[in-house]
Amino acid sequence: MNHKPEPKTKITFKKRPTVLQTLRILQDRHFALLALCSAICFCTSTAIFNGLPPLLERKYHLKPLYVGLCYLPYTLGSCTTRWTAGTFADRIFKHYARQVGVDVRSNRQCPTQMQHIPLEKARLVLAIPFIYFYCLCIIAFGWVMNYNVHIAGPLILLFFCGNASTGVNNTLGMLVADLNVTRPASARAVLSMVNWLTSAGASAAIIPLIDAMGMGWLGVLLAGMMILVSPALWALFFWGKKWRDKQALTLD
């Protein structure tokens, strides 16, 4: 004899969103502004990565093995972001959460709690200084590569470029996940798609741009692009919480 399950014991599974439904996240104002800034910073990192081998071969006449070793300072700089950005990001987030009476517990924040926290300020108060620091590093790296400087100079600057770029990308990625607490994986996937699509163009254009402008002015151009999009982060810093509150009211 078949027994119908009690209503309390029924398990409902949430339907997975389609690709088009996932891409609709681009229509969100917060996500669009963050994706714009993240894509420009990612393009800059890609340009440095892809432009480094020909630059080192032409200027310092290095063999491919030694060119590969020159990527280590950038990697080490990225690893140190664990202390320069990661630790501070956690402390700043807890500080802003306590201000609104939210007890922060690892991976246990519900959407209601996240709505009360000024997420934009908690993340961008760290991301904005990093993006300007990255601009300074890129300009310095470009002009150092433009003159006859010992190879230690560009390697030291690559270390700081790695630290700054990873700091920007990580903090912006954390904000994207915080703003999309019910769908963090989908949001990060769309952000990665935007970053890699735009960086493909940077990969194709970097060598012709170096030949046409020189690395010094190209560094100024890349830093200028990041400065031009940085007001998007300032807009989120000052008005992002108000936009979220207004959006929550309209949904209710």
pLDDT score recorded for residue 167 = 93
pLDDT score recorded for residue 165 = 94
In 3D space, the residue among 31, 41, 45 whose CA is nearest the CA of residue 225 turns out to be 41
Contact predicate 227/128, CB 8 Å? no
In 3D space, the residue among 245, 188, 198, 212 whose CA is nearest the CA of residue 25 turns out to be 188
> pTM of the entire structure?
0.87
Contact predicate 95/180, CB 8 Å? no
Classify the phi-psi angles of 107: left when phi > 0, otherwise alpha if psi is within -120 to 50, otherwise beta.
left
pLDDT score recorded for residue 3 = 52
pLDDT score recorded for residue 232 = 95
pLDDT score recorded for residue 107 = 58
Low-confidence ranges of the chain (pLDDT < 70): 1-15, 105-110, 251-252
Contact predicate 47/168, CB 8 Å? no
> How high does pLDDT run on average in the chain?
87
Residues whose CB falls within 8 Å of the CB of residue 34, separated by 6 or more in sequence, listed in order = 172, 175, 176, 179, 191, 232, 233, 236
pLDDT digits (tens, 9 = 90+) for 178-203: 898 888 888 998 999 999 999 988 88
Residues whose CB falls within 8 Å of the CB of residue 62, separated by 6 or more in sequence, listed in order = 56, 70
pLDDT score recorded for residue 23 = 80
Q: How far apart are the C-alpha atoms of 227 and 40, rounded to whole Å?
A: 10
Q: How far apart are the C-alpha atoms of 135 and 8, rounded to whole Å?
A: 57
Which domains does the chain show, CATH number per domain? 29-251 (1.20.1250.20)
Query: From the CB of residue 74, how many other CB atoms can be counted at a distance below 10 Å?
Result: 23
pLDDT score recorded for residue 15 = 66
